[in-house]
């Protein structure tokens, strides 16, 4: 099922791009994530790029140099396009060969240094597009700690729904409102039901929230009617990114029964521009966490390999910068952290359940993992949890308080994999800013 560490993960590898050798870089030569970019302010076509240190290797320019051959050259041609869909659709073996070729070009001692220096673009001088044309978006609910914490707000004695421990729960979301990091969006309007009221009210959401998630980009798809086995599900994953599924909690709680989220979720979703391949994450696998008294999983969701190494140890962080902080020049402040290894359901299990009824996944489809929270209160992945449903405001270092997001708030997600003996692998950032609500046409 899984990709194991190989020569591209060697901790001693160094790059001729000096910034890639800094200890705290997100993008050492052992990472090599893919994204779509063009020089900021230009009218050039978007194309694929690979993050290396604080630079981007322009895959369009690299493709024109004809330095690669065979399957790696085929993959490079696909990666130079304005979206990564065709690259994502290639078999895992081809993607592995391409990644190894890029590693060879970018590591110290590469014979192509003189040619490739002209193909670097500073990340600070780039603007980013979505990594893929996202045809479909599905958001899961894979953190049992988040599900329990939120459930306890509404069902104190029985927080988990009866089906939670038996299957990965999800809803189909809106792909058209997914944006890349630095997204700005207006506070959504809709109906909500005030406590104790007999009729709903209409207006801007007053309980706007973020959700700390990972995004999963599908690689090779499957045919309609063809289920993907849990043991082979990861062969259908291209890579992971950060994902913030912004939520209007007051709209959501009123509309969610009986068919689930709608206006409370469809106004914005923000992802990071860089997609870290599953191969780059191979050294950071972890066992799937299950308590000894957990019910036995149904067969289509279970395999020894998923139990042994179906999780990924990815440290996740949420930073908040208010409008007041920005005015004063104050940096964003970390308000919570969690780890993806604590997820109850693995990526492989999400894909197996998604397709078991015959649903076909397409290359470039995006899955959200749902809010990732840990077992302690400080590891909550949303303000809904941190503020205990809005009853206990959190206090920032400058004395400002928040139960939910205010206009002008900027939320930034960060993530990194850390393991002794291996290079640090980061994901960049996924940031978004809340703008005031637009006046609705009523």
- Separation of alpha carbons 178 and 266, rounded Å: 9
- Per DSSP, the three-state class of 316 is strand
Q: How far is CA 281 from the centre of its chain?
A: 14
Q: Rounded to the nearest 5°, which phi and psi values hold at 99?
A: -65, -40
Q: Check if 146 is active-site.
A: yes
Q: What is the residue whose two structure tokens read 């944006």?
A: 179
Q: Rounded to an integer, what distance in angstroms lies between the CA atom of residue 237 and that of residue 232? A: 10
CA distance 27 to 127: 18
How is residue 400 written in tokens? 């400002």
CB 122 within 8 A of CB 51: no
| CB-CB contact of 30 with 44 (8 Å) | no
Query: What is the chain's length?
Result: 442
Catalytic residue among 9, 146, 235, 354: 146
Q: Any idea what DSSP says for residue 189?
A: E
Is residue 171 classed exposed, middle or buried when 0-12, 13-18 and 19+ CB atoms within 10 A define those classes?
A: middle
Q: Could you tell me which residues are beta bridge partners of residue 208?
A: 248
Contacts of 68 (CB under 8 A, 6+ apart): 62, 76, 98, 101
Going by C-beta distance under 8 Å and a sequence separation of 6 or more, which residues neighbour residue 162? Answer: none
Residue 396: count other Cβ atoms within 10 Å of its Cβ. Answer: 17
SS3 86: helix
Using DSSP bridges, classify how beta strands 247-248 and 208-209 pair: parallel, antiparallel or unpaired.
Answer: antiparallel
Distance CA 102, CA 3 (A): 18
Q: What is the DSSP string of 249-272?
A: HHHHHHH-TTT--STTTTT-EEE-
CA distance 29 to 344: 31
Residues 6+ apart with CB under 8 A from 128: 35, 36, 37, 180, 181, 273
Q: Tokens for 293, please give them.
A: 């008294």
Question: Token digits for 91?
Answer: 């078999």
Q: Name the H helices within 110-172.
A: 113-116, 144-154
Catalytic residues: 146
């Amino acid at each position: 099922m899984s990709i194991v560490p190989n020569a591209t993960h060697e901790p001693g590898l160094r790059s001729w791009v000096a910034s890639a050798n800094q200890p705290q870089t997100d993008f050492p030569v052992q990472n090599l994530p893919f994204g779509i970019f063009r020089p900021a302010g230009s009218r050039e076509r978007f194309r694929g790029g690979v993050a290396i240190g604080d630079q981007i290797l322009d895959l369009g320019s690299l493709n024109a140099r004809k330095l690669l051959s065979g399957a790696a050259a085929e993959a490079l041609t696909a990666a130079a396009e304005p979206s990564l869909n065709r690259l994502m659709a290639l078999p895992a073996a081809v993607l592995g060969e391409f990644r190894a070729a890029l590693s060879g070009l970018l590591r110290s001692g590469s014979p192509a240094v003189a040619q490739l220096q002209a193909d670097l673009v500073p990340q600070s001088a780039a603007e980013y597009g979505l990594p893929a044309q996202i045809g479909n978006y599905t958001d899961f609910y894979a953190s049992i700690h988040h599900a329990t914490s939120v459930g306890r707000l509404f069902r104190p004695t029985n927080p988990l729904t009866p089906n939670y421990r038996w299957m990965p729960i999800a809803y189909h979301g809106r792909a058209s409102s997914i944006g890349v990091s630095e997204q700005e969006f207006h506070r959504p309007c809709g109906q909500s039901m005030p406590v104790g009221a007999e009729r709903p009210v209409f207006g801007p959401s007053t309980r706007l929230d973020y959700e700390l998630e990972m995004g999963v980009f599908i690689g090779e798809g499957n045919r309609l009617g063809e289920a993907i086995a849990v043991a082979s599900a990861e062969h259908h994953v291209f890579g992971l990114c950060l994902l913030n599924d912004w939520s209007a909690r007051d709209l959501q709680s009123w509309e969610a029964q009986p068919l689930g989220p709608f206006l409370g979720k469809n106004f914005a979703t923000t992802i990071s521009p860089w997609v870290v391949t599953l191969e780059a994450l191979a050294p950071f696998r972890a066992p799937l966490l299950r308590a000894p008294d957990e019910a036995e999983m149904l067969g289509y969701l279970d395999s020894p390999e998923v139990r042994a190494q179906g999780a990924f140890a990815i440290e996740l962080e949420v930073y908040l910068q208010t409008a007041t902080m920005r005015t004063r020049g104050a940096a964003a402040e970390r308000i919570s952290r969690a780890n993806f290894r604590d997820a109850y359901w693995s990526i492989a299990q999400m894909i197996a359940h998604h397709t078991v009824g015959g649903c076909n996944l397409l290359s470039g489809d995006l899955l959200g993992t749902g809010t990732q929270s840990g077992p302690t209160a400080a590891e909550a992945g949303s303000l809904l949890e941190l503020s205990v449903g809005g009853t206990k405001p959190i206090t920032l270092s400058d004395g400002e308080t928040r139960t939910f997001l205010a206009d002008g708030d900027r939320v930034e997600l960060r993530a990194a994999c850390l393991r002794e003996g291996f290079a640090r692998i980061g994901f960049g950032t996924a940031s978004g800013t809340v703008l005031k609500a637009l006046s609705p046409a009523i």
